[in-house]
Structure 1
């Protein structure tokens, strides 16, 4: 195995010169730490890269494969381009600005981490599942702090999550006692990449430390009153586990605003979609129409009203985000042509 393969490189990614390859293992603001499997480098983007970058999606994220020019003596490198991504977890960036943010790239699995306490939110889990399917990776639900929960609570909470996570594996663990860790490692094989995603205080950093067998991430206790905590991870970083798997840790997200998900909503809500297909009318609005299978399922408790409302809410949110993105693209295109026109006029005057 060559050095680059230790970082998850496989033959499906085409590149003519492995000596120019590296993987982004940490991003902190505009600073990038990369590795070629043998040495780590602090890197910056080339001038050409900066000139050609059109949006936030064009910049490197943790997990990206990049083509670089190495300055080995100084342990520095210049990033010239990003190789095509096989998967990317994207969310709407925090704030009011319409902008995408890549949380992690080229992961095989996304661990959606929640704790087994009263901060668990099934509707939030649905959002993560939707975004994970849209990313191109496979979701796994990880329920932490098993040592703090009663067997009855674990059974009840797992059943609630199963309703929202149809067909998605669920693993209950304790990073303190080690219970469930071996089962979790079956989803972390050698040279495969997983990303840890979830809210603040759910135990992601503690889990990273447990999987690595050493304390590499700072942890803080959650508030007992509401089971919430402050995030201790301040940047995204990829670690190599003792079994050869790659794990991307990320700061806790207070909320997950969707960026895209049209192509994954049918998979996330396959139970609702299946019921809708059985409605008498193909254009059924699932309200007062006769022969509505969805309403029938809610009346008989086959489908919960909360899950159906979540399905409708996420559809509305995706449609709204799509309109905002389309508006932004039109404005950027208009500004681009205004700039081109102005540059041409200036050149003409200079003659």
Structure 2
């Protein structure tokens, strides 16, 4: 049996040291999940596993459960005696997550322990700068390094113009142009692969993520059904999956995400240009609206900054303002916002007291 090099799988020295405190357990990495069962790669291959009852009862938040990319401590390294049992998740070095649909505070982990996030966007009907800003904000916050991968270059007649638009918003981010119609169209990506490194492909449905991964693997492992020129047809990936690249680390494929809700984001990096302009405003608390000597508004007037980018910045600021607050603090913040023009929390408490008394009288 060929032994898998766990360091090529992304195992770090810090994780090895942490694992030493768990006696009689082995290190594995989550490669996929289906309901309550996980596929785990160990040095002896892949096996099916589930979490222990003790682990289940100790979980405080849904994000504490194992996710694709996690290194875990498991009770066996092969499947000869049935399913393995996962007892612990080792400390994550990065987490790419998004807001659960329909929720204001719940987070869904897309993948963990990523080094490079390839943000994929096609150069035809999927091209969307505002969505790209959203992806970049979450990617910077994850702890991984974002790289923009533009696909379907063969379908675009205005590549230089679109590149110019991207460079204006993706400060400090590498941008790669790829195509799937040639055997070398994916080569720019290979420069970012190396033993022990984990890369993840993130993007909308049908932009060509799985096609690129198949090229990297050198075989048709992932089924694809890409967007046509009329934007019909969708990529068939429905779950996250971690795959080994021979001597080049690992790659994680993810389901298409046209909408990407934000729980937390690093706007200081994704909107570094606006932060720099804001530091030049006359007032430190400038709202960049009608205040005198506003450097942000002047940049818009001078054509240096687009109004659309500023609106995108404001929108993401609003979405992330509750980051790090517990339920009680979030409710307090919401009430403060509701009554901000009427005296804040003082009037909010008065309003709630009146509502409570009114209910008492109506009983």
**Band the TM-score falls in, shorter-chain normalisation:** 0.7 to 0.9
* Structure 1 partner of 2:211: 206
* Residues 1:233 and 2:237 are matched in the alignment: yes
1:66: how far off? 0.2
Distance 1:111 1:217 in 2: 17
Determine which of 72, 83, 99 is the counterpart of 1:76: 83
Contact 2:118–2:146 under 8 Å retained in 1: yes
Number of aligned pairs? Answer: 324
* Structure 2 partner of 1:33: 39
Distance 1:98 1:10 in 2: 31
Q: Which runs of 5+ in 1 are unaligned?
A: 331-351
* Structure 2 partner of 1:191: 196
Tell which deviates more after alignment, 75-84 or 128-137: 75-84
Provide the alpha-carbon RMSD of the alignment.
Answer: 2.1
Distance 2:220 2:106 in 1: 34
TM (norm. structure 2) is 0.84
TM (norm. structure 1) is 0.87
Contact 1:171–1:180 under 8 Å retained in 2: no
Distance 1:19 1:230 in 2: 41
Contact 1:205–1:232 under 8 Å retained in 2: no
Superposition pairs of residues 63-212 of structure 1, within 5 angstroms: 63-70=69-76, 72-74=79-81, 76-96=83-103, 98-150=105-157, 153-212=158-217
Contact 2:26–2:73 under 8 Å retained in 1: yes
Contact 2:280–2:295 under 8 Å retained in 1: yes
Q: Which runs of 5+ in 2 are unaligned?
A: 332-363
Task: Report the CA distance shift for 1:168/1:229 in structure 2 as closer, same or farther (over 3 A).
Answer: farther
* Residues 1:326 and 2:332 are matched in the alignment: no
* Structure 1 partner of 2:351: none
1:149: how far off? 2.3
1:320: how far off? 5.3
Distance 1:329 1:236 in 2: 31
1:175: how far off? 2.4
What whole-Å deviation, never above 9, does each CA across 1:206-244 have from its counterpart, x for those lacking one?
11111111111111132433x254231111111112342
Task: Report the CA distance shift for 1:303/1:144 in structure 2 as closer, same or farther (over 3 A).
Answer: same
* Structure 1 partner of 2:291: 289
Task: Report the CA distance shift for 1:180/1:170 in structure 2 as closer, same or farther (over 3 A).
Answer: farther
Determine which of 233, 248, 254 is the counterpart of 1:250: 254
* Structure 2 partner of 1:51: 57
Contact 1:91–1:258 under 8 Å retained in 2: yes
* Structure 1 partner of 2:342: none
Distance 1:297 1:228 in 2: 39
